């Protein structure tokens, strides 16, 4: 008579045999479906207002912003320090569309804000047709300061607000109020999911391959017939479209109110650090980098409170935070340009290969 152990072994073997018979596409759907259930089912049911407002919403918005810059820098190889400016264009444009066209649905306003940011992004990208590297970085930095000055200097963009700030309009879709934390989280998560799927399909398409060719060697790409100028500008447009929607969500779903200083040069550096830490040319790296940038300061603060009982000076913690960030960026740029996402992939592969046979 077979033992319980033998029966369990047979069941496990049959289950693995069944999974082995699935197509690669079907096996890839399993983690995606599990992630969808977690993000759209489990978290909304179990999360609280603190997690939605302080952790999850900013995480998803920053991940979306990192994804936008990764399209431009990680895949197309075009340097930029104007991410914050493009986010502000999307935020101010979406705000003005909803302000001046009150009957406009929120999703359409977000798309129009992203489209406006895409147009501005193409203008930012025009110098890339002539310069590259440090000089392109300097030109986008100049654009960053120009947009910040424009929104601060002309009150029309902020509806002549005395503080120059804009406030989130009433969030509503088809009569459903989205002002609660869980609804703002779902709005953000759905938007990020849609744009992430769009980006994945795009970088795996012929367009993504031409971006990679230009990143690796634009002269060789031109020789084989790649339209370099058009492809570079398309990368700026797609990147800015995503960043613009991220900027609108940053105000509408997270901050509630913001001005041009909310998207200053520090924001541009923050997004750049995300893709360096998470991984250049990696969709997953955009999310990993955003999680690290957002959660590491919280982790450091909790460790300091747990060990030293809150006696550590806040300025010292900030300095330690900056030191760790700087050291990590230098290490990743010199040892692993693909970032933390590459290490996670390697760890996953080792765990999968290292399972003992049964």
Q: Is residue 357 part of a domain?
A: no
Number of domains in the chain: 1
Q: What span, in angstroms and rounded, lies between the C-alpha atoms of 191 and 186?
A: 8
**Is 195 within 8 Å of 64 (Cβ atoms)?**
yes
**Residue 97 placed within a domain:** yes
Whether 298 is covered by a domain: the verdict is no
Q: Which residue has the tokens 């960043």?
A: 243
Please tell me which residue, 312 or 344, carries the higher pLDDT value. Answer: 344
| pLDDT greater at residue 120 or residue 306 | 120
Question: What's the start-to-end Cα distance of the chain, in Å?
Answer: 20
**CA geometry: angle 94, 99, 105, nearest 5 deg:** 65
Q: Is the pLDDT of residue 16 over 60?
A: no
Q: Quick check: 317 pLDDT over 90?
A: no
Which one, of 140, 23, 3, 120, lies nearest residue 78 by Cα? 140
159 lies in some domain: yes
Identify which has the larger pLDDT, 11 or 108. Answer: 108
- Name the pTM for this structure: 0.88
pLDDT, tens digit, 9 for 90 and up, residues 84-134? 999 999 999 999 999 999 889 999 999 999 999 999 999 999 998 888 888
The residue range of the domain holding 222 is: 29-261
Per-residue pLDDT, 276: 92
> Residue 11's pLDDT is what?
40
137-189: pLDDT as tens digits: 999 999 999 999 999 989 999 999 888 899 988 888 888 888 899 999 999 99
Q: How far is CA 280 from the centre of its chain?
A: 12
Give CA–CA dist 80/137, Å, rounded. Answer: 5
Query: Residues 191-200: what's their mean pLDDT?
Result: 95
Please state whether 310 falls in left (phi above 0), alpha (psi between -120 and 50) or beta: left
Query: Is residue 301 one of the residues assigned to a domain?
Result: no
Domain contains 229: yes
Is 6 within a domain? no
Average pLDDT for 189-199: 95
Task: Evaluate if residue 190 carries a pLDDT over 90.
Answer: yes
pLDDT at 22: 53
The pLDDT value given to residue 257 = 92
Reported as a pLDDT band with limits 50, 70 and 90, residue 266 is very high
Instruction: For 285-301, write each residue's pLDDT tens digit.
Output: 999 999 999 988 888 88
Mean model confidence pLDDT for the chain: 86
Specify if 126 maps to a domain: yes
Structure tokens at 143: 């654009």
């Amino acid at each position: 008579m077979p033992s319980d152990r033998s029966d369990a072994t047979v069941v496990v073997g049959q289950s693995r045999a069944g999974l082995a018979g699935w197509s690669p596409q079907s096996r890839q759907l399993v983690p995606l479906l599990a992630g969808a259930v977690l993000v759209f089912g489990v978290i909304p049911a179990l999360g609280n207002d603190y997690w939605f407002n302080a952790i999850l919403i900013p995480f998803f918005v920053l991940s979306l912003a990192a994804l936008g810059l990764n399209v431009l820098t990680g895949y197309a190889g075009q340097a930029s320090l104007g991410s914050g400016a493009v986010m502000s264009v999307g935020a101010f444009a979406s705000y003005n569309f909803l302000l001046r066209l009150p009957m406009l649905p929120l999703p359409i306003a977000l798309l129009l804000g992203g489209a406006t940011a895409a147009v501005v992004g193409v203008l930012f990208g025009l110098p890339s047709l002539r310069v590259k590297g440090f000089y392109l970085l300097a030109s986008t930095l100049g654009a960053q300061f120009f947009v910040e000055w424009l929104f601060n200097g002309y009150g029309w963009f902020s509806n002549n607000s005395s503080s120059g700030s804009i406030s989130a309009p009433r969030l509503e879709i088809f009569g459903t109020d989205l002002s609660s934390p869980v609804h703002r989280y779902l709005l953000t998560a759905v938007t990020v999911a849609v744009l992430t799927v769009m980006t994945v399909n795009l970088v795996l398409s012929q367009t993504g391959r031409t971006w990679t060719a230009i990143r690796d060697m634009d002269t060789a790409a031109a020789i084989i017939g790649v339209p370099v100028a058009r492809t570079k500008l398309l990368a700026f447009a797609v990147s800015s479209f995503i960043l613009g929607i991220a900027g609108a969500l940053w105000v509408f779903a997270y901050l509630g109110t913001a001005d041009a200083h909310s998207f200053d040069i520090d924001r541009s550096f923050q997004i750049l650090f995300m893709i360096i830490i998470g991984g250049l040319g990696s969709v997953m790296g955009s999310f990993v980098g955003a999680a690290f940038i957002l959660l590491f300061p919280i982790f450091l603060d909790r460790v300091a409170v747990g060990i030293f009982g809150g006696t550590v000076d806040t300025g010292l913690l900030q300095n330690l935070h900056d030191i760790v960030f700087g050291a990590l960026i230098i290490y990743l740029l010199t040892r692993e340009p693909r970032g933390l996402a590459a290490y996670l992939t390697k760890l996953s592969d080792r765990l999968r290969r290292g399972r003992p046979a049964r």
